[in-house]
């Protein structure tokens, strides 16, 4: 009897042993992964702030309110010292122009992209004929996969000349009475070109995510709403969109983050304005991400290192802006859910 | 399983190819994008006869070139600008001229792109600081009497480099040396604080400068002379610039070498000298040495020996200084006295 039990135990043991080991292994691995995702973000922020600390002290509050970014006279003698930290003579790093540029391009991009994306996503789910739907879906996904530098190159070669020669002169001439649309038509490089390019880049992302949440949740809601006698438009805007609101907000957040952080394509078409605010939507602008790339090269020659550290401070600022946007969006969502008596 | 095997084999192959390259002495050159095309011509021919050394070239920008030469990642850091005093006191690095380059002032003014407008440092400084806003400004007309009727009331779009650049360094140095108010204001450097001019545009790289100038009517830009072929293809005009003697000169082989010759006796042993705004009635005012930034104390004696051999070849009249390389990018060879100084600097490498 013992022998039999022993045999049975022996026979069962590999599988019986494997399962707990595999489970423990999986738990440990996922635990490490979950921990790492926090740890990496935290460490990145920590090192960034530690590296930028001399710049934070050197620049003080002027970093956020001064529009002049001056890396100082690299070939001059002596140093400029503030709060115990030194930069090149005459150096002062004010990031207001770049912070403003980042925020305004991202917001305008959302103004263009959000309605378009929602309409495209709804159309893809409810209106596009079944036969060409796979093709349309594939096209959207293809657009999402195009590298940003390709958009940038297209922008520089095709979009910018078009804006500079046709679009901007037309708009300033006929709609110049509207604030922010009048004034100089400019060269084509600028805010409008950046917003166009960014919208092209974020629309596929928003369409793909919005389409998926609609598909996952709402065909039944749509049909129910139609059955109650609403028009297609009413069914889409009053029934479907509210039901997928958290998914839509998530996709807007994703797109907003992308628009804030996009570097190369923006750098190629934004006109890289320094020390000057945009006068209208055709003025050259600059964003935090584009400035970090374009100024790194000369910052490397700063013997005091303050220019590099100030770029790190810019990176911190971008990090914080992204964080604030996230928190704000989540707060808005939670409040909206609470009003409607739903759990967050 | 077969897939895994194939992958493993491919990886092995890659490692072995990499391994073979590592067997020879390797040198890394990185930095100036202006020098990069020439460096590639040099390296290709040099390696044909020196198979035992593997030279990798990278166009990353002068600032990266200098910082990677200091950190030891690269053996040669290519730079359009010599290092600042502040940087050189921190790190003892050789600044070795390899060739002479120049810069054109290009413009896109319909009807005038096929002629050469006269421009001066003070006028350019006025344009880039926003005090001269239109092409029919009295100061521009005064030095272009023969084209006064063709200069129209159109707004000038000044284009500058968005990123740090040796081209910005030599252009702003010309403005600083010719215009006192620019010297005490924005000054010069690879990146400067550009005055706030609402319609000024920043462009990336020399190709971006050519593209933006071509796209934008009534614009003006500063572009390295090695892009002469591209600027001509783009239909841009280029200016005759006023030199220290007050003459307006075009960038040609003779005016560029005149500038270099005017200063070669003044070049110090460490060869840190600006050729901008050189004296002499024939001297083109925006001329510069292209530098190799090299650490004299190399950590690897094998690399040091190969590095010296390569630099000596570049500084050889029958080697890298020959016209077949330099003409391709519109650079000029170093005068004999400068070659001597450069070779003496190369001899310090250990």
Residue A171 carries which DSSP code? H
Residue numbers in A near B215 (CB within 8 A): 160-161, 164, 187-188
Considering only CB atoms, which chain A residues are within 8 Å of B190?
74, 297-298, 301
Residue A301 to residue B66, Cβ atoms within 8 A: yes
Distance CA A299, CA A93 (A): 12
Cα within 13 Å of Cα(A62), Cβ side? 14
Q: What is the pTM of this model?
A: 0.81
Q: Indicate whether A106 and A152 sit together in one domain.
A: yes
Return the residue of A nearest to B60 by Cα: A297
Smallest CA–CA distance, residue A222 to chain B, in Å, is: 46
A30 and A115 in a common domain: no
pLDDT of residue B5: 56
Q: Does B162 touch chain A (CB under 8 A)?
A: yes
List Cβ neighbours of B213 (8 Å cut-off, separation of 6 or more).
B106, B107, B108, B159, B219, B220, B221, B223, B231, B234, B236
β partners of residue B288: B101
Interacting residues of A77 by C-beta distance below 8 A, sequence separation 6+: A89, B85, B86
Last residue within a domain, chosen from A256, A273, A294: A294
User: Domain span at residue A101?
Assistant: 95-294
- Choose the mutation target among A297, A303, A305, A310 for the interface with B, i.e. most B CBs under 10 Å: A297
Structural tokens at position B172 = 């702003």
- Find which of A272, A281, A308 to mutate to test the B interface (most B CBs within 10 Å of its CB): A272
Q: Is B293 on the interface with A (CB under 8 A)?
A: no
> Is residue A3 included in any domain, yes or no?
no
Please give the angle made by the CA atoms of B320, B322 and B323, to the nearest 5 degrees. 130
Low-confidence ranges of chain A (pLDDT < 50): 1-6, 8-9, 11, 343-344
Q: Is B86 on the interface with A (CB under 8 A)?
A: yes
Cβ count within 10 A of residue B336:
9
Query: Could you tell me whether strands B25-31 and B53-59 are parallel, antiparallel, or unpaired per DSSP bridges?
Result: parallel
Only one residue has tokens 């702003």, namely B172
The reply to whether A319 falls in a domain is no
Q: Do A71 and B202 touch (CB under 8 A)?
A: no
Do residues A241 and A113 share a domain?
yes
Pair A64, A213 in one domain: no
Say yes or no: A164 and A77 in one domain.
no
Preferred mutation among A298, A306, A310 to probe B, highest tally of B CBs within 10 A: A298
A182 with A270, same domain: the answer is: yes
Report the pLDDT value the prediction gives residue A344, as an integer from 0 to 100.
39
Q: Are residues A172 and A227 in the same domain?
A: yes
Residues in chain A closer than 8 A to B172 (CB atoms): none
The answer to whether residue A195 sits within a structural domain is: yes
Residue B335 is given by DSSP the state P
Interface subset of B 137-156, CB within 8 angstroms of A: 155
User: How many structural domains comprise chain A?
Assistant: 2
* Same domain flag for A258 and A184: yes
| Smallest Cα distance from B288 to chain A, Å | 16
CA distance B296 to B304: 9
Closest residue of A to B32, CA-based? A297
pLDDT of residue B156: 95
Domain membership flag for residue A21: yes
Nearest Cβ partner of B216 from A69, A74, A187?
Answer: A187
Using a CB–CB cutoff of 8 Å, tell me whether B188 touches chain A. yes
Do A67 and A141 lie in one domain? The reply is no
Work out the minimum CA distance from B274 to partner chain A, whole angstroms: 12
Give strand pairing partners of B241: B119, B249
Contact A275 B163 (CB under 8 A): no
Nearest to A315 by CA among A268, A273, A261, A269: A261
Which of B99, B105, B66 minimizes the C-alpha distance to B275? Answer: B99
Distance CA A233, CA A210 (A): 17
**What is the spatial distance between Cα B122 and Cα A307, in angstroms, rounded to a whole number?**
29
Separation CA A90–CA A72 (nearest Å)? 5
Q: From CA B118, how far away is CA B143, in angstroms rounded?
A: 6
Verify that A83 and A105 share a domain, yes or no: no
Q: Give the model's pLDDT for residue A115.
A: 94
Taking the Cβ of residue B200 and every Cβ of chain A, the question of whether any pair is shorter than 8 Å is answered with yes
Question: Between chains, do A301 and B62 touch, taking CB under 8 Å as contact?
Answer: yes
Q: Does B202 touch chain A (CB under 8 A)?
A: yes
Q: Give the model confidence (pLDDT) of B191-220 as tens digits.
A: 888 988 878 999 988 888 999 999 899 999
Name the residue among A75, A189, A290 with its Cβ closest to that of B212: A189
Judge if A61 and A116 occupy the same domain: no
Domain identity same for A103 and A52: no
Q: Is residue A315 in a domain?
A: no
Contact A241, A211 (CB under 8 A): no
- Domain boundary at A39, A66, A87, which? A87
Domain boundary among A28, A56, A87: A87
Longest CA span, chain B: 80
B203–A contact, CB cutoff 8 A = yes
Q: Is residue A259 part of a domain?
A: yes
Mean pLDDT, consecutive 10-residue segments, chain B of 350 residues? 56 49 78 90 93 89 88 93 89 95 96 95 96 96 94 94 88 96 91 86 88 92 91 95 96 93 91 94 96 94 94 95 92 93 95
Which chain B residue is nearest to residue A267, measuring alpha carbons?
Answer: B204
Query: Chains A and B: how many Cβ contacts under 8 Å?
Result: 135
Give the pLDDT confidence score for residue A302 in this predicted structure. Answer: 87
Are A117 and A210 in contact by the 8 Å Cβ rule? The answer is: yes
Model pLDDT, residue A20: 79
* A218 domain residue, yes or no: yes
Is B164 close to A75, i.e. CB distance below 8 A? no
CATH of the domain at A185: 1.10.3720.10
- Measure CB to CB from residue B163 to each of A68, A160, A297 and give the nearest one: A297
In a domain, A7, yes or no: no
């Amino acid at each position: 009897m013992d022998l039999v039990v022993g045999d049975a135990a022996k026979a069962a043991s590999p599988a019986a042993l494997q399962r707990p080991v595999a489970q423990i292994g999986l738990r440990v691995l996922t635990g490490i992964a979950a921990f790492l995702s926090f740890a990496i973000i935290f460490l990145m922020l920590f090192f960034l702030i530690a590296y930028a600390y001399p710049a934070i002290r050197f620049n003080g509050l002027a970093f956020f309110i001064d529009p002049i970014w001056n890396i100082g006279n690299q070939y001059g003698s002596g140093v400029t010292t503030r709060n115990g930290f030194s930069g090149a003579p005459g150096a002062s790093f004010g990031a207001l122009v770049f912070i403003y540029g980042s925020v305004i391009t991202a917001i305008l991009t959302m103004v263009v992209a959000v309605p378009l994306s929602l309409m495209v996503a709804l159309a893809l789910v409810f209106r596009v004929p079944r036969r060409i739907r796979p093709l349309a879906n594939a096209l959207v996904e293809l657009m999402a996969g195009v590298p940003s530098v390709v958009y940038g190159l297209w922008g520089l070669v095709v979009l910018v000349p078009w804006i500079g020669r046709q679009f901007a002169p037309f708009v300033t001439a006929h709609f110049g009475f509207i604030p922010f649309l009048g004034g100089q038509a400019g060269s084509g490089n600028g805010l409008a070109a950046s917003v166009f390019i960014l919208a092209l880049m974020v629309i596929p992302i928003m369409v793909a995510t919005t389409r998926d949440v609609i598909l996952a949740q709402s065909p039944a809601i749509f049909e129910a709403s139609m059955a109650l006698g609403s028009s297609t438009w009413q069914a889409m805007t009053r029934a479907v969109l509210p039901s997928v609101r958290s998914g839509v907000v998530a996709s807007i957040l994703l797109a907003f983050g992308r628009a804030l952080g996009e570097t190369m394509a923006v750098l190629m078409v934004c006109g890289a304005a320094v020390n000057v605010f945009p006068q209208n939507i055709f003025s050259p602008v600059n964003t935090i991400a584009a400035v970090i790339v374009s100024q790194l090269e000369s910052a490397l020659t700063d013997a005091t290192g303050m220019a590099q550290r100030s770029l790190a401070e810019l990176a911190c600022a971008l990090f914080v802006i992204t964080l604030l946007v996230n928190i704000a969006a989540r707060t808005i969502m939670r409040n909206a859910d609470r009003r409607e008596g739903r759990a967050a | 399983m077969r897939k895994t095997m194939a992958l493993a084999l491919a990886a092995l192959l890659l490692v072995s190819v990499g391994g073979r390259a590592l067997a020879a002495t390797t040198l890394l050159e990185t930095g100036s994008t202006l020098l990069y095309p020439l460096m590639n011509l040099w390296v290709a021919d040099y390696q044909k006869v020196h198979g035992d050394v593997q030279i990798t070239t990278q166009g990353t920008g002068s600032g990266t070139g200098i910082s990677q030469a200091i950190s030891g990642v690269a053996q040669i850091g290519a730079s359009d600008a010599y290092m600042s005093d502040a940087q050189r006191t921190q790190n003892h690095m050789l600044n070795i001229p390899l060739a002479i380059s120049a810069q054109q002032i290009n413009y896109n003014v319909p009807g005038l792109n096929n002629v050469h407008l006269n421009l001066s440092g003070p006028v350019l400084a006025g344009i880039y600081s926003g005090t001269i806003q239109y092409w029919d400004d009295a100061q521009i007309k005064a030095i272009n009497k023969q084209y006064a009727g063709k200069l129209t009331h159109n707004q000038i779009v000044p284009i500058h480099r968005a990123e740090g650049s040796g081209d910005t360094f030599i252009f702003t140095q010309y403005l600083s040396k010719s215009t006192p108010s620019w010297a005490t204001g924005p000054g010069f450097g690879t990146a400067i604080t550009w005055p706030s001019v609402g319609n000024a545009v920043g462009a990336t790289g020399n190709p971006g400068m050519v593209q933006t100038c071509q796209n934008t009517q009534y614009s003006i830009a500063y572009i390295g002379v090695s892009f002469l072929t591209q600027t001509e293809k783009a239909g841009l005009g280029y200016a005759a610039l006023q030199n220290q003697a007050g003459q307006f000169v075009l960038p040609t082989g003779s005016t560029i070498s005149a500038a270099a010759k005017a200063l070669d006796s003044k070049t110090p042993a460490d060869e840190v000298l600006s050729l901008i705004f050189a004296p002499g009635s024939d001297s083109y005012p925006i001329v510069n040495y292209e530098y190799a930034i090299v650490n004299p104390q190399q950590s690897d004696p094998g690399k040091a020996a190969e590095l010296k051999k390569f630099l000596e070849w570049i500084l050889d009249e029958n080697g890298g200084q020959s016209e077949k390389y330099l003409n391709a990018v519109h650079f000029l060879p170093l005068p004999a006295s400068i070659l001597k100084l450069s070779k003496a600097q190369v001899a310090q490498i250990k």
